[in-house]
Structure 1
């Protein structure tokens, strides 16, 4: 069995892969989930450092399919400027490894390469380095990326700050399509029936926690909007919305209750209780946890994230035009406020200079 540490060590000691990638270095997170590892490498074709994702050979079928689906979707999304770009499509290399009995056997490893990021929005939130205008611009880019994939019938299903990469030039790009799904008549679900949401439950809409996507896969599109709101909340408040609204017992209870209901009846049952769930869990203000939020946009940011992250999916904001309009109004307010402050400072400077000149003439 090859562990993540084994694979990372193997890559660091390996001279090259298929004559193209070399000089492997583990990235700060050391891996890319529990079924693959992520390393940086020199790319002889582009002369850039890139990120190479390698799948563990003994991963279960679900994880292998996640890896393969991500590689395929990245090919589909080639040329989308707000989405991490594929540098090299899925391929393989072989390594001779010894068994516990000392027998040398060939192991096949699947990999692909993408652009190398500088960090992710999760890092930025933790550092507190971005000003409100920068956060809104990044959020607008994220919304545009989600709009792009939705237009191609792709639901991401795992939107969260760590899956929004920050490139060396400061641009943000959407990444990690391992649990994404193209929802059409020909793309099957990765598993026959889910007992948990496909993505990170801390950013997951309650209807996904209740596995309603088993009955109606298209509900994953609506769930992506909930995750967008949760990300916006975290960008301004510094805390995870999901952990403020729900706890592990709620996650377990709603999954257990909905899984006990036959597919075909879940949505009807869920719709009967979702209002009470929403009423018992009011969405907090972005300023409730001590983070400084400009008063001029606080109410508008609250309105936007609450509209996106409405617990009741039936009234959730799922209109990108309206989302962009709300973001742009916040940006306009901040820029006008900043311009007004500059004008005030310039006026004070001119007045002070005039007073000095007048004082000089009188003396």
Structure 2
């Protein structure tokens, strides 16, 4: 806490005059469904709406994979917002961790700012809290552990989340926990606070320093995790109010209550853990997620041991501060040497201030007691402070008679003690020699040296061991790279080791070199191939990814070792994994001849389908349209060409027997051209004897009709 202590009688510090509210900007999200952002991300449906944007289920058409696309709220009104979002997206993308939702891409499509992330099916921590809260402490810490593992990786990379809340913690169907939205609060906050006074983030989990606009570090994430722990343990948020500003005010001026005050059965060290994480003074919080993770695991160990309380652990986790009240609640005056004024009791005094206050001691946070040293203890009862002294006539003190007699008795006791000491020393030396002798015999002398049977066959080793007077047992088998199969690879005791006469030697027999047949992993998924190799104690080496028209995405195309080859354990097997079919850019051949278009598309690997239509304007065999005309497709996909079949045919008039001039006029009137040729035998009558095409046939307008006359 950064304000003044009310207990010290000083005025409380108010937060920076800023309006705090949950951001709920309404946009026409439904209009975005079905849109393709940047020609790549097809938005299929809305998954969730939040204060920072709307999350869509989408398909990356370029890589043919399902992704989650977050469309940001209000980003198009901020000139610098796109640059900040891009910077934070790059930082989050570098944070590669199994407990962090991966960031794939970021962009701006005509003012629509978006972030492309890994799609995580399943549910959120909010769903778990809604269904199960209050949760048992062991269940709470089992869920908090991977959350802190993810934040530890982020804090190590100097990335702060700033908006930890149950909605940003995703849980897959297999139970894996992933943290989403790294960097978004940082990307949005600078402009929002500067221009609107609105604080971005979930007010129920905001650290006091964020409310006061005093800057953020890893400890604001620690506070949020502590608030989430409290909600999981109790089913209630740490602070509540009718308006967000009331909740923010409580973060600054009120401690998070102990969970055990709301739910019975919570151990004191769990209360102390929550108090440590949610300390209003961030200097008293856990330094970062990795420190809090260590504390959480200590508490989990205590819970698993079913400890009602662990005093040392509780004291380690409790908040401590110097009691600095000028006049305590009991009305004690300030001790001499104290300063006239003192920082509030919630603040941590400097070392110099502590040295100036000799009557204080470090006490738990809930204590206001002052240590006041009392007077020295009185002498114990019976202490002889004085004694009677007698003097002779000259005034010289005479020694007491009782003292002299006591001295003689002491001298006699000393001589007796000296004699007893010599006898005791001799006895100890004798015992030591006997013990050493017995130890030497028991530990060394009674043993033989075990013979060397290594490398012998089982029969040879048994015979040799029995010849030396020992029993020989079988201790099992193990693989060996140096000892042939069926020979002795080790003995117990080992050669030269200690063995009792007529003792037993245990033989371990070699199974030969450990070899396994390489499995057939072609066609398996990458995970299945790794599991198959693990069964023969092999490991995956380099993984190369290539396009394939026959192998599905993510499946193995080939392996570096042939199937059945005998391999030793830990052999690395390189894999070639399919990236799926290779996308091919589609070129538009509209206006080109059918022959040219079909040749080019065939060469690119597409199937060509021709749809012919009559057209009075487009020449025959010219491509009128193409579907698809652009974008990308895959080999084997079908491209449809709409090709002109020229003008639609009409019926040719019959003019056989007519005068050539009349026939020409009739045909030309019908839209045909006329060519006249004489028959070999021509009589000069100029009558049409034959025509081609013939009367009643169909031909396109403009076709030349050949007339033969006699």
**Normalised TM-score (structure 2):** 0.35
Structure 2 counterpart of 1:201, from 200, 203, 210:
203
Number of residues of Structure 1 aligned to a counterpart in Structure 2: 276
* 1:236, distance to aligned residue in structure 2 (A): 1.0
**Cα distance in structure 2, aligned partners of 1:331 and 1:233:** 16
Q: Does 1:109 align with 2:129?
A: no
Partner of 1:241, secondary structure, is: coil
C-alpha distance in structure 1 between counterparts of 2:93 and 2:205, whole Å: 26
> Structure 1 residues 60, 23: CA separation in 2 closer, same or farther (over 3 Å shift)?
closer
Shift of 1:70: 4.0
Flag the structure with higher helix content.
1
CA, structure 1 residues 39+321, in 2 after alignment: closer, same or farther (shift >3 Å)? closer
1:158 and 2:163 aligned: yes
- Aligned position for 1:178: 184
1:50 deviation in Å? Answer: 2.0
Residue equivalent to 2:89? 71
Aligned CA distance change for structure 1 residues 198 and 41 (closer, same or farther; 3 Å): closer
| Structure-2 change in CA distance of 1:32 and 1:70 (3 Å) | farther
Asked if 2 retains the 8 angstrom alpha-carbon contact of 1:196 and 1:209, the reply is: no
CA distance in 1, matches of 2:236, 2:201: 19
- Per-residue displacement from partner, 1:2-30 (whole Å, max 9, x unpaired)? x965343332x34x455654460111x3x
The answer for the alignment partner of 1:260 in structure 2 is: none
- Cα offset for 1:60? 2.8
Cross-structure match for 2:293: 324
Question: SS where residue 239 of structure 2 aligns?
Answer: helix
Among 228, 237, 262, which residue is 1:289 paired with?
Answer: 262
The structure whose RCO (Cα within 8 Å, separation 6+) is larger is 1
The answer as to 2:253 corresponding to 1:248 is no
1:62-111 deviations in Å (ceiling 9; x for gaps)? 7545643442332222x222211023x11344xxxxxxxxxxxxx45333
Task: Identify if the C-alpha distance between structure 1 residues 317 and 252 changes in structure 2 by more than 3 Å, giving closer, same or farther.
Answer: closer
Q: 1:69 to 1:238 in 2, by over 3 A?
A: farther
**Partner of residue 308, structure 1:** 277
Structure 2 CA distance for partners of 1:229 and 1:169, relative to 1, 3 Å: same
* Structure 1: distance between partners of 2:214 and 2:30: 38
**Distance in structure 2 (CA, Å) of the matches to 1:192 and 1:242:** 23
SS at match of 1:243: coil
For residues 33 and 116 of structure 1, the distance between their equivalents in structure 2, rounded to whole angstroms, comes to 19
Query: In the alignment, is the contact (CA less than 8 A) between 2:185 and 2:200 conserved in 1?
Result: yes
Residues 179 and 69 from structure 1, CA distance in 2 versus in 1: closer, same or farther, beyond 3 angstroms? farther
CA contact (8 A) 2:165 2:224 kept: yes
Please report the RMSD computed on the Cα atoms of aligned residues, expressed in angstroms: 3.5
1:158 touches 1:180 (CA, 8 Å); kept in 2? no
Q: Secondary structure at the match of 1:306?
A: helix
- Does structure 2 conserve the Cα–Cα contact (< 8 Å) formed by 1:55 and 1:64? no
Distance 1:189 1:45, change over 3 A: same
1:220 to 217, 231, 237: 217
For residues 165 and 69 of structure 1, do their structure 2 counterparts lie closer, same or farther at Cα, with a shift above 3 Å needed?
farther
Please say if residues 32 and 53 of structure 1, whose CA atoms lie closer than 8 Å, have aligned partners that are also in contact.
no
On the 8 A contact 1:286/1:298 being kept in 2, the answer is no
1:37/1:221 CA distance change after superposition, 3 Å: same
Aligned twin of 2:141: 136
Question: For the structure 1 residues 221 and 42, does the alpha-carbon distance in structure 2 shift closer, same or farther, using more than 3 Å as the test?
Answer: same
Match of 1:55 in 2: 72
User: 1:103 aligns to what?
Assistant: none
Structure 1 residue 42: deviation in Å? Answer: 3.2
Q: Alpha carbons of 1:197 and 1:5: their partners in 2 closer, same or farther (altered >3 Å)?
A: closer
Shift of 1:178: 0.8
Matched, 1:6 2:28: yes
Q: Which runs of 5+ in 2 are unaligned?
A: 1-24, 308-710
- C-alpha distance 124-67 of structure 1, shift in aligned 2 (>3 A): farther
- What TM-score, normalized by structure 1, do the two folds share? 0.64
SS at match of 2:259: coil
Q: Structure 1 residues 180 and 22 mapped into 2: Cα distance closer, same or farther (>3 Å)?
A: same
Conserved in 2, the CA contact under 8 Å of 1:237 and 1:288?
no
8 Å contact from structure 2 (residues 75, 81) kept in 1: no
Structure 2 match to 1:122: 126
Cross-structure match for 1:91: 107
CA distance in 2, matches of 1:288, 1:55: 40
**Are positions 1:25 and 2:45 aligned together?**
yes
Question: Which segment drifts farther, 146-155 or 54-63?
Answer: 54-63
- Following superposition, the deviation at residue 308 of structure 1 comes to 0.9
Aligned counterparts of 1:144 and 1:282: Cα–Cα separation in 2: 26
Of 145, 149, 174, the match for 2:150: 145
* Larger CA deviation: 232-241 vs 169-178: 169-178
| Aligned CA distance change for structure 1 residues 39 and 308 (closer, same or farther; 3 Å) | same
**Is the contact made by 2:145 and 2:293 (CA closer than 8 Å) also made in structure 1?**
yes
CA contact (8 A) 1:158 1:199 kept: yes
